Structure 1
Amino acid sequence: MHLEHPDTLITILHLITLLAIPIHVFGTYCILFKTPKSMESVKLIMLNFHVWCMVLDYGITVLTVPYLLFPVLGGFPLGILKDIGVPIEVQSYGILTLVAVVSAAAIDIIENRYYIVFAQNTKWRRYRIILTIFNYSCSLAWTLPAFILLPDQNTAAPGALRILEKFGTVPEYIRKAPIFVISFDLRTITLPCMIIAGFFVVEVVVFVVVMTRGMSKLKQTARFSKSTLKMQRNFLNAIYIQVSVYITSIQLPIFWFIVSILADVHFQAINNLGFVMFSFNGVVSTVIMIWIHRPYRDFCLKIVKLNKLSNNAVHVDSGGTIHSVAPRVTSNAY
């Protein structure tokens, strides 16, 4: 199996789906039923982020399975939506939009914590909804310039093949594929991408700086006890870690995609590997969420301990003596 082949990509992404489903379900259960009252204010916001991460994961690994052809701004889908006849431009718009929506949902978590701890009695309570509407509106609109200016696909697909031919022989499975090209003009996609990414980065930095300074000021007041301050600080650190993991898992593949486009290089195996990393975003984010938030971690460890106890069976002999029975160990011969 070669990583550059479409069948390999499909197999890997479907295996990731099988791994992701139980992890996502467990994460959803933790948020819905194991979130303590002390975290109630962030429960729906965390669920919102978690759900959008799941939608993005399944959108990539099952629904679309994008096979991208960087440095060409195009590719073709291999997922279920292709089989049921959903237009490629609709699939492309959906995935690109979902990436931005998940980013907006991550910002919601940080903003919510700022509001709860620092801004409930300030003017921010009237403006925060405007920021949320702005972020999600930008998420829906940032790709519109590219899709409004789509090239004629009858000539775009041959043009994409000519670009790929510079890097060697183009496999037959690519030549016969329904290649969809978003644009040959980098500005129509990269400029809006840089603008929305800039907005999101500035928002995250501002909230982090303001909250860091706010926590320092709270230490000098009697508003919270030391234990409450410690809890708030730990919760903020947990949120920072969760959002940072998401940003890293998204940014590393995007960094390669940008390098491939700007440097005009084509390595299909790395293109596919980038999307494999991309599709792990929701799984990694969920695992990190379960581990860094103590209520979820404790619940998970409790399940593990109960499982261990259930394996330590006991046997009562005819004389009434209780004997511990060690778990049966089986070995595989090679």
Structure 2
Amino acid sequence: MSARLMANPEFRAAARPRLRDDEMPTPPRAMTASAEKGKRRRAWPRWTRSAVKSALMLVPVLGLAATAGSAWKHGNLADNLQAAEDGLIRATGSLGFRLQEILVVGRSETERDAVLDALGVRRGEPILSIDLADAKQRLEELPWVSSASIERRLPGFLYIRLSERQPMAIWQHDRQFTVIDRAGRPLADAMELARRGNQRIDTLPQVVGANAPQQVHTLLSALDNAPTIAPMLSSASWISDRRWNLQLSNGVTVRLPEGTGEMRNALRQLEQMHTANRVLDRDIVAIDLRQPDRAAIQTSATAQLPGWDDDAKKKSGKKS
């Protein structure tokens, strides 16, 4: 066995011939292939690969965008999208998403038929086909409605909340009587409301004058600072487009000065006079407040001013 394992001393020399110092060994095949591959990679910059990849990804996107733009330009894409939307809405309607009920909150003066006409909807139509923004805009165009909100409550309810304008006066002009709000905006025909049995208009003061609605907000704001006088107002006349004359419920006429600030001061003065001496409960005809430093009181023939009873008693005592 030892002879079988003995190496031939000439074998190494025969298998591996000795190389000269200036001779390079032949590289293995794998190393040669790897070197050649490395040479091929270094033929292009390193950023080229990512750029080419991005370009290849953008090609279909740009192609789709160009196709979509062309289709949109010719109306095809828009028509297709609209058709798809209509088909989807019809499908939801077949699943039971149809308008069944309309719930309105906050409606006091607005007529029911006016709300339905403004909505422009009908029972049984697909509820998703209703344009809520358009319906809201039409509701807010109604005379009594100041703001409106509308929402869907699936599967078949429309929930509407209305905020209505408040009637503040009745404008009398050219033999017509129009209910107006605080800003002077016309709301409804007062005679028509009376025929319908609306009792609220009986509590509203009247304003007279061609341009009275444009000025009524200043008068009402000034009366807010005279809480005792405001409930007594029966009517107000806009005189010569300059100032107001007030007619109180007890028949007394109050002549106010020009100017918003002056009018506020005059009403505040009248409020103090009535609180201190109950002057408006006396037998007087008119109070002129157009002068800032004094109030001119016009009495009737039988008027008794504050202190009159005391003076009469003193005189009768002297005579006795």
Q: TM-score, normalised by structure 1?
A: 0.18
Higher strand share: 2
Higher helix share: 1
Q: TM-score, normalised by structure 2?
A: 0.18
Greater RCO, 1 or 2 (C-alpha within 8 Å, sep 6+): 1
Which structure: larger Rg? 2
